[in-house]
A and B are shown apart, each in its own frame.
Chain A
Amino acid sequence: NAGVMQNPRHLVRRRGQEARLRCSPMKGHSHVYWYRQLPEEGLKFMVYLQKENIIDESGMPKERFSAEFPKEGPSILRIQQVVRGDSAAYFCASSPQLAGGNEQFFGPGTRLTVL
Chain B
Amino acid sequence: AQSVTQLDSQVPVFEEAPVELRCNYSSSVSVYLFWYVQYPNQGLQLLLKYLSGSTLVKGINGFEAEFNKSQTSFHLRKPSVHISDTAEYFCAVSDQGAQKLVFGQGTRLTINP
Contacts and interface: CB of A to CB of B under 8 A. Distances in A.
Contacts of B99: 31, 33, 48, 55-56, 98-100
B87 to A, nearest CB: 14
A41 interface: yes
Q: What is the interface residue range for chain B against chain A?
A: 20 to 34
Contacts, number: 67
A85 interface: no
Contact of A42 (B34, B41, B96, B103): B103
A101 B51 CA distance: 6
Interface string A27-55: 00001010100001111110010000001
A91 B92 CA distance: 15
Interface in B28-58: 32, 34, 36, 41-46, 49, 51
Contacts of B98: 100
A91 B97 CA distance: 22
Interface of A: 4, 31, 33, 35, 40-45, 48, 55-56, 58-59, 91, 93, 98-101, 103-109
Given A35-B101, A101-B49, A103-B49, 11 more contacts: A33-B100, A41-B106, A42-B4, A42-B105, A48-B100, A93-B44, A99-B100, A101-B96, A103-B46, A105-B46, A106-B43
